[in-house]
Amino acid sequence: MPHESPIPDPLAWLTAAYGPELSRLEEDPGLLAAVDQHAAAVRDAVPLDAPHLSDYLLGFLDELHDRGWRPHDPEPFPALRLTALCWLARRAGLLPADDFLA
């Protein structure tokens, strides 16, 4: 059963929130390596399609919320995982078109 969410389109939210980080990957090999490790963990956990990535994203956000995390907290793990989700969705052609993703 799909995850119920107040976010109408989780992947569109992800694009708006973490899509701009994708441009940094080309400039920062260390960041790219960290995001790639997170992407590998996600690839091992779920199929790379919109419903599964959306459900994974919503579950991950629920867990972060339960732990008291808020966007822009200094802990790197959540931001890296969310950037990796965005990167995977982009590579799978699942993100809405935006200029920064061109």
Structure tokens at 75: 């802990």
Average pLDDT on 72-83 reads 89
Tens of pLDDT along 11-46?
988 888 888 889 999 899 999 999 999 999 999 999
Total length of the chain? 102
| DSSP 8-class letter at 8 | S
pLDDT at res. 8? 76
CB 42 within 8 A of CB 89: no
Instruction: Quote the mean pLDDT of the chain.
Output: 86
pLDDT at res. 70? 85
Average pLDDT on 69-91 reads 90
Beta-strand runs (E) in 5-73: none
Domain spans of the chain?
10-97
